[in-house]
Chains A and B, each alone.
Chain A
Amino acid sequence: MYVILSRIPNVPGIGVGNMDIEEVVVVRDLVKKFGSVEALRGISFSVEKGEVFGLVGPNGAGKTTTLRIIATLLTPTSGEVRVFGFNVVKEPSKVRELLAYLPEEAGCYRNITGIEFLRMVAKLYYKNRRDVEEAVELGIKIANLGDRIYDKIKTYSKGMKRRLQVARVLMVRPKLAVLDEPTAGLDVSQALSVRRLITEFSRNYGITVIMSSHIMSEVEKVCNRIAILNKGTIVECGYLDELKSKYGVTDLEDLFIRVVKS
């Protein structure tokens, strides 16, 4: 699935100065505790403009918590997170105007149709009717649901709902897309088309992507740079090729096992 954009509307309210920042996401000494459980133990990393950054790690490593903090859903216990220079705690509304977040278990409103859902989201991002319709048009292409887009979401399969959610994130061409397990629940071909979309959108429209995944082959195909998280700590961070040669391995799976074990 390939989508051609004729025109990219501007996201309102964002100064050009912020857009020139090279480090789109900066995470410094981030700690997150849930009661006595320390989910993140002082992690630091940055994501550069236009890159697809992957967070990999076993279950419970802290990937989703990190993404939720970046998406302004959770607040850090200590440390700092900035998105395009805006502090996620102090300026969450500015951050939310720049990013689109896809949760791992993103649900949909059961009783509205797919197109109504896309239009509602578009109306929240754009004031101009033309921009809204362009975004919806793009969303329909990305979702690729045919006439089912006019059906109520409760009639969709898990895969169809996920495609609608991916469309919802990408159609507004966010400056930063935060994707938590973007291909969760998709079959092989659907997952492939979503991976292509992520790569295409990042390359063609300069969208910065930070995503988590436990599918190593997916990360290898989509991401430029990765951070490996284990038990709330970043155990390795860097370009894929550099990391592979550092550990003398040929694929990410071997790299992951080596890093986590060491």
Chain B
Amino acid sequence: MIPLPLVEKEVKDLLRDPRILIPFVISALILPVMGLLVGHFMQERVSEAVSAVNLGIVDLDRSSISRLIISKIKSCGQFKVVELDYSGEFELGYVHEVVKKYKDLEVLVIIPKGFGSSIEKLMPSNMVVVPIVKSVGPGTSAGKASRVSEFVKNCIIDYLSTKLNVNPDVIRNPLVTQYMTYVAGKIVMGHPGLVLASISMISTMMPMVILIVAITTAQMSATSMAVENEERTLETLLTLPVSRIGILMSKLIGSFVVSLLGSAFNLLGLYLYMTLIMRSFERAVSPVVMQKIGGGVGIDISPAEFIIIGISLLLSLFFLSALGIVIGALSSDVRISSTIMGPITMAIIIPGYIVAFMDVSKMPLHLQILIKALPVAQPAIFVKEALIKEILLSDLIFLAPSLLLTFIMLIIVSRIFATEKIITIQKSIEAKIRRKR
């Protein structure tokens, strides 16, 4: 039976502990603050990307067509044009001179001799576009250079279509493709690139979310147990009229509840971070573009899959909670438990990252089996499978090793709790360390 007064104490004591509460609040605050900063930066850069381009043009051709295109560039409003005088053969050194002289210039276009005549002969014509890179990120001169190139191309198409009496839209888009993507048992309308980007984002994010919950749970249990040793409350606790299993269960459940709350803080922070970035992006680009990007895939997870993921996640969290308690029991204070938790956290993160960023099904069989049997990686794999295709029936067998590992961990921790080891183990470890020194 679970002693509820102890669970209540556990939750209150943990939640009121600044060492636990402050990281929760910080993680909930730091991500939105980062989101605001990144969003602001992004909004600035995106606005910059769609704003008028400071363009320098060197017209070496001086044909009627090059003059026509330059006049169109000047009048369209997308470019602030500086026309540069240059005569003779073009040399690369001239670019250095231009950049030094015109500090605001973002793109330099050189229209070479023969440009107009090639178009007249219905031959591909040449043009040199030099993006002047001043910083890295969205809205840089590389994107602006493409805008210039695209604009000139459209001007040529317009010119040729008038000359040849052809509908310019046919030349621009001779084929209208309607994309439908078959994914996760559903047909999703939209460009496969956008659909896959959307799925890939969700299937990467979900394992990361599970990872956050897993690490918080392990750390919480370890801290909770280490605090008992540090504050010397364990001796009193163990002589109260409650079974050792009851004490263990209250610790597991108490840490579990607080971990879920902590994870909720983390996830809230993550949600705010993503929302703030998306809002900044929305403000910067047109609604049409947003509609294309945000045309959500809307993938469903079936109730059966939801139950499987739930079982797997629960096993993982119990495993990690028990692991945290073992580490906390071995540590005489919170500092030592945090030190031990460092490498353990890495051991949790690595398989989580593998699942998030790699296709496990493409890995060698023995590695697949190992990762699928790991309590932490397993729910992340199930979530990914449920999102992209479906959870394979054959994969359900991997719940068995996960259950076994969780069971073994619970036996280890209950053995520690049932004997005097729980009182003596930290001292014997400290004595061993002293002897080694």
A residues lining the B interface (CB < 8 Å): 11, 34-35, 68, 71-75, 93, 96-97, 99-103, 105-112, 116-117, 119-121, 123-125, 152, 165, 168
Selected from B3, B8, B9, B423, the residue in CB contact (under 8 A) with A73 is: B423
Contact B241 A125 (CB under 8 A): yes
Q: Are A99 and B233 in contact (CB under 8 A)?
A: no
B8 surroundings in chain A (CB, below 8 A): 120
Q: List 14 A-B contacts (CB under 8 A).
A: A71-B239, A73-B238, A96-B240, A97-B241, A101-B235, A106-B235, A108-B233, A109-B231, A111-B15, A111-B17, A120-B9, A124-B240, A124-B242, A152-B16
**A103 contacts B235, C-beta separation under 8 Å:** yes
A123 touching B5 in the complex, CB below 8 Å, given contacts A73-B423, A107-B233, A109-B233: yes
Once the chains bind, are A96 and B241 in contact (CB under 8 Å)? yes
A96 touches B239 (CB 8 A): yes
Q: Assess the A112–B239 pair: CB atoms within 8 A.
A: no
Query: In this complex, what residue of B is CB-closest to A99?
Result: B239
Known A-B contacts A71-B239, A73-B423; the reply to A124 vs B17 at CB < 8 A is: no
Complexed CA–CA distance, A117 and B4 (Å): 14
| Residues of B bordering A, CB below 8 Å | 3-6, 8-9, 12-17, 231-233, 235-236, 238-243, 419-420, 423-424, 428
Q: Is the CB of A120 within 8 A of B231?
A: no
**Known contacts A99-B239, A106-B232; can you find 6 more A-B pairs with CB under 8 A?**
A11-B241, A74-B420, A107-B231, A109-B13, A110-B231, A112-B16
Cα A101 to Cα B233 with chains together (Å): 12
Question: 5 nearest interchain CB pairs?
Answer: A107-B232, A111-B16, A107-B231, A101-B239, A123-B5
Chain A hits for B231, CB < 8 A: 107-110
In the complex the two chains form, is B9's CB within 8 Å of A116's CB?
yes
Taking CB atoms, residues of chain A closer than 8 Å to B236 are: 101-103, 106-107, 165, 168
In the docked arrangement, what's the CA distance between A169 and B109, Å? 88
Q: How far, in whole Å, are A99 and B236 apart by their CA atoms in the complex?
A: 11
**Are A111 and B241 closer than 8 Å at their CB atoms?**
no
Residue of B nearest to A126 (CB): B241
Beyond A71-B239, A112-B9, A120-B8, whether A103 also contacts B232 by CB under 8 A is yes
Max chain B Cβ within 10 angstroms of own Cβ: one of A74, A101, A110, A111:
A111
Q: Report how far A42 CA is from B240 CA in the complex, Å.
A: 28
Residue of A nearest to B232 (CB): A107
| Dominant secondary structure at the A interface | mixed
C-alpha gap A116/B3 in the complex (Å): 15
Q: Decide: A112 near B13, CB < 8 A? Known: A34-B424, A96-B240, A100-B239.
A: yes
Q: How far, in angstroms, from A102 to B12 measured CA to CA in the complex?
A: 23
- In the complex the two chains form, is B239's CB within 8 Å of A72's CB? yes
Task: Say yes or no: A110 contacts B9, CB within 8 Å.
Answer: no
Given A74-B420, A106-B235, A107-B233, A121 and B240 touching (CB < 8 A)?
A: yes
A228 CB, min distance to chain B CBs, angstroms: 25
- Nearest chain-A residue to B239 (Cβ)? A101
A106-B5 Cα distance, complex, nearest whole Å: 19
Q: Are B13 and A74 in contact (CB under 8 A)?
A: no
Q: Please, how many angstroms separate the alpha-carbon atoms of A1 and B4 in the complex?
A: 33
CB pair B424 A111 closer than 8 Å: no
The answer to whether A116 and B12 have CB atoms under 8 Å apart is yes
Residues of B within 8 A of A107 (CB): 231-233, 236
Alpha-carbon distance between A109 and B428 when the two chains are bound, in angstroms: 25
Write out the residue numbers on chain B whose beta carbons fall within 8 Å of the beta carbon of A119.
5
CA distance A43 to B372 in the complex (A): 55
Whether A73 and B235, one on each chain, are in contact in the complex, defined by CB atoms closer than 8 angstroms, is yes
With most chain A CB atoms within 10 A of its CB, the pick from B8, B231, B424 is B231
Q: Which residues of A contact B242 (CB under 8 A)?
A: 96, 124
How far, in angstroms, from A163 to B424 measured CA to CA in the complex?
Answer: 27
Residue on A nearest B238 in the bound complex, by CB: A73
Contact between B423 and A110 (Cβ–Cβ < 8 Å)?
no
CB neighbours (8 Å) of B17 from chain A are 110-111
User: Is A124 touching B238 in the complex (CB atoms < 8 A)?
Assistant: no
Complex alpha-carbon distance, A109 and B13, angstroms: 7
